[in-house]
Structure 1
Amino acid sequence: MVLELSEPHRDAIVEHARGGAPEEVVGVLAGTNGETSRVERRYRAVNAAETPETRYEIAPEAELAILERIDDAGFDVVGFYHSHPRGPLEPSATDTRLAAWPGRSYVIVSLAGEDAGIGSWRWRGERFERESVSVVE
């Protein structure tokens, strides 16, 4: 499993995470979905969680609007991204409990430490599997 992500998309996701700290940020990734998924577009979303410092949530009406934009553009939902401002790069127990899109990528940006780290996991319906992130042109 591979997530192909351009350098500008990767950098924009990390910048979004840094700019939103100390709260978690969230967004949706669009493009082509498969064993190798390619991100063509990203859509920032407002974190509507009651405790945005430790959780992320997209309000249902906002998520529907983003999903319609993705469909209208002729893309698939590749996955989602969010940040862990003080947490690890791996999905949390809450991330696992709330994951709802089998076969999609969940990108996490960790801001813990000096440099931001970015990783991706594919949701398999019951668990996450780490996938490679390939930075492409």
Structure 2
Amino acid sequence: MIELPRTIYDDIVRHASEGGKEEVCGVLAGDRGTDGDPSVVTRRYEAENVAETPRTRYLITPEEQLELIERIEADGLDVVGFYHSHPTGPARPSETDAAQAAWPDHSYVICALDGHPFVGSWRWRGDGSGFEQETVALRSGQ
């Protein structure tokens, strides 16, 4: 399970909507749950999507990713996972998402915008089993 404050959930939807037909992306930080404990997101860090085909892919440069990780750690937080948008769906990880996932036991949050905005989350298992859908629990406040 991943716990998102309502404000961060709304910020992800807003960021995705602002991206229009291009995917947006960012890093989620807080307390990464292990051994069945939920991950708790307390902050969201937007990143620039530098993919060659941003309508169907997202990519954070290694330099920006390192900078964001250092900021997260300096803030005393853990990397919980990543988020990105699927402007035209699907409301689940794509084959490309699975091929590029590189952070085992971290959450990959997707905001799909085809129809009503949908925010779902999947943990990358990295053991060959792929993504496992997890419950998104909304919390009030930050």
Choose the corresponding residue for 1:76, options 58, 62, 78. 78
Q: Which runs of 5+ in 2 are unaligned?
A: none
Choose the corresponding residue for 2:88, options 74, 86, 89. 86
For 1:76-115, list aligned pairs within 5 A. Answer: 76-113=78-115, 115=116
Q: Which runs of 5+ in 1 are unaligned?
A: none
CA distance in 1, matches of 2:57, 2:21: 11
CA distance in 2, matches of 1:74, 1:53: 34
CA distance in 1, matches of 2:113, 2:139: 23
The match for 1:65 is: 67
| Deviation per residue, 1:4-48 (Å, 9 max, x gap) | 000000000000000011100000000000130000100000001
For 1:1-137, list aligned pairs within 5 A. Answer: 2-34=1-33, 35-113=37-115, 115-125=116-126, 126=128, 127-137=130-140
Give secondary structure in 2 for the equivalent of 1:112.
coil
RMSD: 0.6
CA distance in 2, matches of 1:136, 1:61: 32
TM-score scaled to structure 1, two decimals?
0.97
Following superposition, the deviation at residue 87 of structure 1 comes to 1.5
TM-score scaled to structure 2, two decimals?
0.94
CA distance in 2, matches of 1:21, 1:12: 15
Give secondary structure in 1 for the equivalent of 2:135.
strand
Quick one: which amino acid aligns to residue 32 of structure 1?
D
Quick one: which amino acid aligns to residue 102 of structure 1?
P
